[in-house]
Amino acid sequence: MRFARFLAVGGTNTVVSYTVYLVLLRVIDYRVAYTIAYLVGLALGYWMQARFVFRAPLGTRSAVAYVATYVSMYLASVLMLWVAVDLLGVPKPLAMLVALCVTVPASFLLMSRGFRP
């Protein structure tokens, strides 16, 4: 059940972040729009993960763990994409799906530890 909430929160956060990006694109540079949308997604995602997925209080420890998890998963994804595309010849559109199959459950496990009281 918790993993289903994790997926639902992730999907919701993605839609909100993308919407923010699209709205901001109308008035500012795409790089600035992406940065703002990413930060909104990071903050919203932390709040939703804490409240709805793990039902944990917000705090410094869980915030640091959340950001560390996202940085780690980003770096792992870039590495997996490189291996899949450049070394194994996986088509680029499929390579991201391969990376997500690893990083989504890994993120859930890491966040489970980070949101523990």
What are the tens digits of pLDDT across the range 29-88? 999 999 999 999 999 999 999 999 999 999 999 999 999 998 999 999 999 999 999 999
Neighbours of 103 (CB within 10 A): 20
Separation between Cα atoms, residue 72 and residue 87, nearest integer Å: 21
Kindly list the domain boundaries of the chain, sorted by start residue.
1-55, 57-117
Q: Model confidence over 89-117: pLDDT tens digits? A: 999 889 888 888 999 999 999 999 888 86
Q: Is the pTM higher than 0.85? A: no
Question: Residue 85 contacts by C-beta under 8 Å, 6 or more apart in sequence?
Answer: 91, 92, 95
pLDDT reported for residue 19: 95
Contact 44, 86 (CB under 8 A): no
pLDDT reported for residue 116: 81
Contact 92, 77 (CB under 8 A): no
Rounded to a whole number, what is the distance in angstroms from the first to the last CA of the chain? Answer: 19
